[in-house]
Amino acid sequence: MGGCATTTAGPAVPGPAAPAAVNPTDVAWLQLVVPMTENALAAARLAPEHAESPQVRSAAEACTGPLEQLLGRLRAVRDRAGLPAADVHSGHRMPGMVTAADLVALRSERGAGFDRRLVALLRAHAAQLVVLAGGEQANGADAETRELARLAGAEGARETELLG
How many residues would you count in the chain?
A: 164
Cα distances (Å, whole numbers) of residue 140 to 19, 95, 111: 13, 20, 41
Quick one: pLDDT at residue 88? Answer: 87
Could you tell me which CATH number the domain at 22-83+95-163 has?
1.20.1260.10
Cα angle: 25, vertex 18, 148; to 5 degrees = 55
Instruction: Give the integer Cα–Cα distance in Å for 37 and 160.
Output: 15
Yes or no: say if 50 and 114 are a contact pair by the CB < 8 Å rule: yes
User: Per residue in 86-140, pLDDT tens?
Assistant: 988 887 788 999 999 999 999 999 999 999 999 999 999 999 999 999 999 999 9
* Predicted model pTM: 0.84
Instruction: Give the integer Cα–Cα distance in Å for 162 and 124.
Output: 13
- 164 confidence band (pLDDT: 50, 70, 90): confident
H/E segment holding residue 103: helix 100-108
Yes or no: say if 23 and 142 are a contact pair by the CB < 8 Å rule: yes
